[in-house]
């Protein structure tokens, strides 16, 4: 009974979070006839108030309440694109997407083929450059679609990425891969997580169909937010110094064993331009604290399914993930508001 009360309370919390705007939710597949179709999710303000549906909810994780396939509220909205981490998916930051949409943002997320939870295809994973391209293609799908185009403020586009999604975000803003630097770092500190992922993604050797690095940049993106980034040492120092948009770095202070923020987020803070970079470490957060809320039995359930997976639902001792989410959300929205693009002069 007690566990049921907790879950109901969490769902009611998500409902109160949509009081500013009710949240519509829609999913579609883009470029279905290509070799890399994209599954895209969109959260957006709506004037409809019913019927509510529960999304991204399962026995382990808490979902949110939205109105599926609702009409879009009249107006133009700032856009936020979400990029999940290695073997993650759109559900991971559903909590954040729902809150942002309730606050007046049009939010979209894509599952990256090859590095998403239900698609581990090695040939897709090795095409590492496709991750930032996925984000550009997602934006293209919205700006070129009659349903969405009239509701997008194209002057106000931001990207938020967790872990490998943060890495993808930086590639989209002008960062470039430095293989020699990555190789030196993995020889100096052979981290099995980051160096293993780098190998799986083909980062140590040039791929035959790899595009020129500068072509990955998307000038439409005006702000970048990085949530406990990974693979930071694969990005060239010179390219990081040239990034000319505001960047918010949010890091987890509790190391899960092989992803110390001082060597990831800290590395970026040393080399991104100080004038428009903000860096904050949440001392009570762990790498997966940025993901969705966990239900009471999630730790046991995840560990039974796959040894070690309970780490996804672990935070620092005495810390409530819901409280961390509140702080994360406040920091993100404050940053977005601070750097809103000015309205065009009449």
Q: What local confidence, expressed as pLDDT, does residue 259 receive?
A: 77
Residues across the chain: 346
Q: Which residue has the tokens 């609702």?
A: 70
- Residue 290: CB atoms within 10 A of its CB come to 27
Q: Which residue has the tokens 């930032």?
A: 132
Q: What is the pLDDT along the chain (346 residues), one digit of tens a residue?
A: 434 444 444 444 444 443 479 999 999 999 888 999 999 999 999 999 999 999 999 999 999 999 999 999 999 999 999 999 999 999 999 999 999 999 999 999 999 999 999 898 989 999 999 999 999 999 999 999 999 999 999 999 999 999 999 999 999 999 999 999 999 999 998 988 899 999 999 999 999 899 988 789 999 999 999 999 999 999 999 999 999 999 999 999 998 877 789 999 999 999 999 999 999 999 999 999 999 999 999 999 999 999 999 999 999 999 999 999 999 999 999 999 999 876 554 4
- Both structure tokens of 306: 């796959």
- Packing angle of the helix pair 130-143, 164-172 (nearest 10 deg): 70
Distance CA 71, CA 134 (A): 26
| Selection from 102, 55, 94, 96 nearest residue 77 by Cα | 102
Distance CA 108, CA 222 (A): 16
- Both structure tokens of 238: 């010179």
| Selection from 254, 233, 220, 245 nearest residue 324 by Cα | 254
Determine contact, residues 125/100, Cβ cutoff 8 Å: no
Strand order in the sheet with 223-227: 53-55, 64-68, 22-30, 38-46, 106-111, 77-83, 152-162, 223-227, 247-252, 277-282
**pTM beyond cutoff 0.95:** no
Q: What local confidence, expressed as pLDDT, does residue 343 receive?
A: 59
Q: What local confidence, expressed as pLDDT, does residue 185 receive?
A: 94
Distance CA 270, CA 13 (A): 38
Q: What local confidence, expressed as pLDDT, does residue 20 receive?
A: 78
Distance CA 110, CA 242 (A): 27
Dihedral, CA of residue 309, residue 313, residue 314 and residue 317, to nearest 10:
-150
Give all domains of the chain, ordered by start, each with its CATH number. 2-338 (3.40.50.1820)
Determine whether 291 is exposed, middle or buried from the number of CB atoms within 10 Å of its CB (0-12, 13-18, 19+). Answer: buried
Q: What local confidence, expressed as pLDDT, does residue 318 receive?
A: 92
The contacts of residue 293 (CB under 8 Å, 6+ apart) are 10, 61, 62, 95, 321, 322, 325
Q: What local confidence, expressed as pLDDT, does residue 10 receive?
A: 46
79-88: burial string, b at 16+ Cβ within 10 Å, e else:
bbbbbbbbbb
């Amino acid at each position: 009974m007690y566990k049921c009360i907790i879950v109901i309370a969490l769902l009611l919390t998500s409902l109160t979070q949509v009081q500013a705007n009710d949240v519509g939710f829609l999913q579609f597949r883009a470029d279905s006839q290509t070799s890399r179709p994209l599954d895209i999710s969109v959260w957006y303000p709506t004037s409809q108030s019913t019927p509510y549906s529960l999304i991204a909810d399962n026995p382990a994780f808490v979902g949110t309440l939205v109105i599926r396939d609702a009409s879009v509220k009249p107006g133009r909205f700032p856009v936020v694109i979400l990029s999940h981490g290695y073997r993650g998916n759109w559900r991971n930051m559903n909590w954040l997407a729902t809150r942002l949409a309730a606050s007046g943002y049009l939010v979209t997320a894509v599952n990256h083929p090859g590095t998403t939870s239900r698609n581990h295809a090695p040939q897709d994973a090795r095409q590492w450059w496709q991750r930032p391209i996925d984000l550009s293609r997602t934006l293209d799908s919205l700006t070129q679609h009659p349903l969405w185009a009239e509701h997008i403020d194209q002057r106000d586009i931001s990207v938020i990425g967790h872990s490998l999604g943060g890495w993808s975000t930086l590639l989209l803003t002008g960062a470039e891969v430095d293989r020699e630097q990555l190789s030196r770092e993995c020889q100096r500190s052979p981290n099995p997580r980051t160096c293993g992922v780098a190998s799986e993604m083909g980062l140590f050797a040039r791929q035959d169909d790899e595009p020129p690095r500068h072509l990955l940049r998307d000038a439409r993106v005006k702000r970048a937010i990085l949530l406990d980034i990974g693979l930071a040492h694969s990005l060239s120092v010179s390219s990081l110094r040239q990034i000319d948009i505001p960047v918010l770095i949010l890091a987890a202070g509790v190391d899960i064993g092989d992803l110390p923020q001082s060597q990831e987020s800290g590395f970026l803070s040393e080399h991104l331009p100080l004038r428009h970079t903000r860096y904050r470490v949440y001392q009570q957060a762990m790498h997966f604290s940025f993901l969705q809320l966990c239900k009471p039995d999630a730790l046991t359930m995840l560990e039974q399914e796959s040894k070690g997976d309970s780490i996804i639902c672990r935070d620092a001792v005495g810390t409530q993930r819901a409280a961390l989410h509140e702080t994360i959300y406040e920091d993100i929205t404050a940053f977005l508001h601070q750097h809103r693009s000015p309205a065009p002069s009449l």
